[in-house]
Chain A
Amino acid sequence: MPKSDSKPSSFQEIILRLQAYWAEKGCAIMQPYDMEVGAGTFHPATTLRSLGSRPWAAAYVQPSRRPTDGRYGENPNRLQHYYQYQVLIKPSPPNLQNLYLGSLAAIGIDMDLHDIRFVEDDWESPTLGAWGLGWEVWCDGMEVSQFTYFQQVGGHDCHPVSGELTYGLERLAMYVLGVDHVMDMPYNSPDAPIALKYGDVFKQTEEEYARWNFDVANTEVLLRHFVEAEAECEAILAQVHDDPKTGKRIIMAHPAYDQCIKASHIFNLLDARGVISVTERQAYIGRVRALAKQCADAFVLTEAGGYAA
């Protein structure tokens, strides 16, 4: 088993160590996707790149938004905006479990003192039409990561299979740093000239967004945006593959997928506003899934999706 490193002292140090670790293991370190998403899985570096035959290895931080989880920054563990660390390797290497355990050691979890367990937890994303088998990883009874072997994404069988790791960064960091309330967690080094806590950075925004998400967001505008994003996604994909201007074959899978992401996030906002009934809920999820599926269909026709002319 890997020997653990010294204890980190801040939230950002944990992120930096994960970045260094996975870079060292050969992953391309990506930057966060520049759109609002509910989880790191939505980043095209995961959703789209898990499709097709081309090998891929990426790791990145992804800011994630879950409007319904907002608690005005008062709940010790719940946030409407938080960070996920995401690793995707295709094909999944045979030593992925050990690589993962190495990453825990790298952020200072001592394997000799803690109890790490792989507990069955199959993953499914109804909005992405995706599922996989795997575990939630427990450290002393706390879920610190999701570990999934993707079997299907956007309705396509994954071949080869990607191994996906998702770390809930705040929760993991709170555990490693021994902090009970997320807002009390050191964001940068406590010894820095200007030491900042997580609350200094995010307490106010949690309040602002919670108010907006729950009570102010204009639902009529959101409903309209949903429909528009849906229409735009379909319109993009309806274009002929050969670009009349350049004469090149350009399938716009990524721009279409942006609209799918947008629709998904708007749906989450509408859900938080409480304007979606139980029966409608399924219908909305189905509509986003239909978009995701069409984007996946388009991506596998592109070069990055393994298409060979």
Chain B
Amino acid sequence: MPDLLIELFSEEIPARMQVRAADDLKKRVTDGLVEAGLTYAHAQSMSTPRRLTLAIEGLLAHSPTVREERKGPKVGAPDKAIEGFLRGAGLTRDQLEERDTPKGAVYFAVIEKAGRPATDIISEVLETTIRNFPWPKSMRWGAGNLRWVRPLHSILCLLSDEAGQTVIPMDVDGITSTDTTEGHRFMGTGRFAVTGFEDYAAKLKRDHVILDPIERADMIWADAQNLAFAQGLELVEDRGLLAEVAGLVEWPVALMGDIAEDFLNLPPEVLQTSMKEHQKFFSVKNPKTGRIEKFITVANRETADNGVTILAGNQKVLFARLSDAKFFWENDIRVAETGGQAWLDSLNNVTFHNKLGSQGERIDRIVALARDLSAITGSDADLCEKAARWAKSDLSSEMVYEFPELQGLMGRYYAAPAGFPAEVADAAQDHYSPLGPSDDVPTAPVSVAVALADKLDTLTGFWAIDEKPTGSKDPFALRRAALGVIRLVLENNLRMPLDRQFDAQLLRHEAAQNGNDSVSTALLQDLENEIADHGVFGAAIRTVLDAFDGDLPEHMEELKNRLPDTSRDLLSFFHDRLKVFLRDQGVRHDVIDACIAMDGSDDLTLLVKRARALQEFMSSEDGENLLQGFKRANNILAQAEEQDGVEYSFGADPKYAENDAERALFAVIEAQAPVIEAAVEVEDFGAAMAGMAEMRAPVDAFFEAVQVNTDNQVVRRNRLNLLSAIRKICAGVADFTLIEG
């Protein structure tokens, strides 16, 4: 069976696109071939800066002939019907077969699709692939209309088997296929012909091209490590950079150079970022000093002077770059030493979002919320205010302007010169955390307060302007922010009613957007104060409106209805995120729902404590059985209540008990109800579940021995009231009606 070799040779493909493009080439070509009936044994794609290559082994030389039978109209059917059938089948009437069926003679069409040679199929599939290639960005060049990522120069398309090889003829907008390619731009020997994949790869290597990006990355990594190791130094790992650099070279040569003494005292992150972003250098650390002291650059060629010229040039460029970084650093330190007010002032002119005002306004809101949260996180309110105000100031610094990814970190470095204590420095860096699900969560109380305030302000803000995530669209990373809040609360074991924070911050957004008349401003301020006393919006607005004399501004009326809805909607978004978070930790969604339905579900720590205990209980035999008992009790009660039109809720008396099982249930309820209630009261859900477990056997025994709906109405009512005690106990722990099973 033949093998196929395809190479699309172009001007330099952006490094970040190469790997994906090689995958797309493989997928599109092989899918197209298979769809046309050409199966294959193995396919492999590779890329270098100038080429995408696909090698397919064991391809069918012909697609198989396919026979299809179609049943048509009856013999003698109207001509119109028969003609229609013939058109669909692409046959003439004399080609139809008449066959006898139980329903009489019927026309059959037998359509035979002849197999086609691989050559024809490949050229079609490849041309379609080239013309519809999913580049993230593509372009035209010269006077043509073909689109490719950069000008496409040649197409190698070669089918080979034991007998020899043939170029599959193609012409894509004037580029005709051949069996030739080129090696390295500078170290190669010009165009050459190949006979198949092995010959191709070997000749490329001869002409200084390593075809496989993984092989190039491995070479770079090994060479760089050896260079560092030989001098007792350590290479700083950076997989992303390694992959990128492997996409910038066809013939990697690692070279190590020095960082001038002047720059060694810059923060290591600054050195690393500057070298990586601008120059694609790896950082080399001295384990003795902990400093980054050297760099490794990867050239695309060997030279007669062993890279001396190349290294000297790179070193010179680095010197200029780091001079800039040092200039930024020194200027920033000067601003920081004056307290950094200039940065904060300039943030008033930076838009955060056109509906949510400037960064300066945002900082004011975060400060207010961070103060509110100081007590909850166990930190000093004034310190939280300072930290919250400082946290975003580095966004105005020259260093962060140049390297946005250093935000937060620079705030940490600049905090001390600005006269702030370590807590403020930590908060500047840590308040962005956690970013990802596996990121560390800050634990320092001030950092936690600022981190929460930052995220909650973002979430309430986007909720206030109705820019919520939908489907896969979450441009402001609000899901991540909510998960961040969840983890901050849970991992720090914080007790905070989210409702109250939502309401307070939504009001602050409201004040910023609509508080443009003095009455509204005053009312919104009153409301905020009332929320501090009452906890939530509903109670606060009643108090404020009761005290208000006169006509309410229109938007205050509207706010009365809108704000609670927004707040509730945001809480349910949090509950959804929490479900995803806990599901990953093995807590069932119905168990969480059963806990969310309880009061205080905006206190995430309480909610999760309850959910974990319940999850554990529901995984035990006692739990499973008790759930059945509960459901049975609940069903019986629901039916009886519907039938009798009353609610059975209290008054069960052991004196009407008729047998031991009934008496035993009375006894256990009397014993466990206060235990469970007390345990729930102190949030010892483990103890509450243990109390519930005690009830399981008596409940089972009761249903075994007792018929609830007896003819004796007194006894029946007594039993129903007894069941309601079970229902009540369970309802105090979680909403068991929501648990499946």
Contacts and interface: CB of A to CB of B under 8 A. Distances in A.
B392 to A, nearest CB: 15
A246 interface: no
B142 A161 contact: yes
Q: Which of B140, B300, B309 has the most CB of A within 10 A?
A: B140
B317 A120 contact: no
Contacts of B313: 114-115, 139-142, 175
Interface in A133-148: 133-135, 139-142
Contact of B349 (A97, A114, A149, A277): A277
A195 interface: no
B705 to A, nearest CB: 79
A115 B317 CA distance: 13
A215 B620 CA distance: 78
Contacts of B186: 1, 111-112, 116
State which size class the interface on A falls in.
35 or more
Contacts of A113: 303-305, 309-310
Given A118-B11, A277-B349, A159 B303 contact: no
A259 interface: no
Q: Which of B15, B141, B149 has the most CB of A within 10 A?
A: B141
B140 A161 contact: yes
Given A118-B12, A141-B314, A161 B309 contact: no
Contacts of A140: 309-314, 317
Nearest to B174: A94
A198 to B, nearest CB: 16
A91 interface: yes
B12 A135 contact: yes
A77 B185 CA distance: 31
Interface in B140-195: 140-143, 149-151, 153, 185-186
B142 A94 contact: yes
Given A142-B316, A149-B141, A161-B139, A115 B151 contact: no
Q: Which of A112, A141, A180 has the most CB of B within 10 A?
A: A141
A116 B139 CA distance: 23
A120 B297 contact: no
A48 to B, nearest CB: 19
A301 B137 CA distance: 30
B256 to A, nearest CB: 14
A151 interface: yes
A76 B323 contact: yes
A117 B300 contact: yes
Interface residues of B, number: 43
B139 A149 contact: yes
B141 A92 contact: yes
A108 B49 CA distance: 26
Interface in A169-208: 175, 180
A160 B140 CA distance: 8
B335 to A, nearest CB: 16
Contact of B248 (A117, A151, A279): A117
Contacts of B320: 76-77
Contacts of B143: 91, 159-161
Nearest to B142: A91
Nearest to A142: B317
B299 interface: yes
A232 interface: no
B709 interface: no
Contacts of A142: 313-314, 316-317
B608 to A, nearest CB: 42
B710 interface: no
Given A97-B11, A133-B137, A141-B317, A115 B300 contact: yes
Contact of B142 (A111, A118, A160): A160
B323 A114 contact: no
A278 interface: yes
Given A76-B320, A115-B310, 20 more contacts: A77-B320, A92-B141, A92-B151, A94-B151, A112-B303, A113-B309, A114-B303, A114-B310, A115-B301, A116-B186, A133-B150, A140-B309, A140-B311, A141-B317, A160-B143, A161-B139, A163-B141, A277-B349, A279-B349, A279-B351
12 contacts: A1-B186, A112-B186, A115-B303, A133-B150, A140-B313, A140-B314, A141-B314, A142-B317, A149-B141, A160-B142, A161-B140, A279-B349
Closest 8 CB pairs of A and B: A140-B313, A120-B14, A118-B12, A141-B314, A160-B143, A91-B143, A115-B299, A133-B139
Interface of A: 1, 76-77, 91-94, 97, 111-120, 122, 132-135, 139-142, 149, 151, 158-161, 163, 175, 180, 277-279
